[in-house]
Amino acid sequence: MDDLYHPRILELAADMPHVGRLDAPDGAATKVSRVCGSVVTVELKLADGKVSDIAVHPKACALGQAATGVLAMHAIGATPAEIRAAREGLRGMLKDGASPPSGRFWELRHLEGVKDYPARHASTMLAFDAAVEALDQAGAR
């Protein structure tokens, strides 16, 4: 299990930007892992077809927090398509053994070891699942 909690995972979990809440977000979503009880809320604003601001509010394990940290670090300036692709890339990496996501969210590769621990998949996916739901909500406006 040491491969799960290597130093970069712990850094991502501990040094997370954009923690808090936004005033009047365009979209917001909260996701909960029924397996471990981790909770992640993502709020975002869109401008010119890109994320212009993001706030995250995690109460999650180190793996969930690390994934949230990657999202929070790289979401501003990302298109909804990039965030959706990162979510699908993360899911494929965890569940299907696909290559780690590349591009803006390349640091999700640090979570590749989670694939061997299916009980940890849900908490690792929370931030990106919440981000996609928040994007859906923003798009419906």
Q: Which two tokens stand for residue 100?
A: 């780690």
- The confidence score (pLDDT) of residue 66 equals 97
Q: Which two tokens stand for residue 49?
A: 């077809």
CA distances from 35 to 2, 79, 90, 119 (A): 21, 31, 19, 7
Mean pLDDT over the full length of the chain: 95
- The confidence score (pLDDT) of residue 93 equals 98
CA distances from 113 to 32, 49, 134, 138 (A): 21, 33, 27, 33
Q: Which residues of the chain have pLDDT under 70?
A: 1-2
Is the CATH number of domain 7-139 3.30.470.10? no
Model-level pTM? 0.95
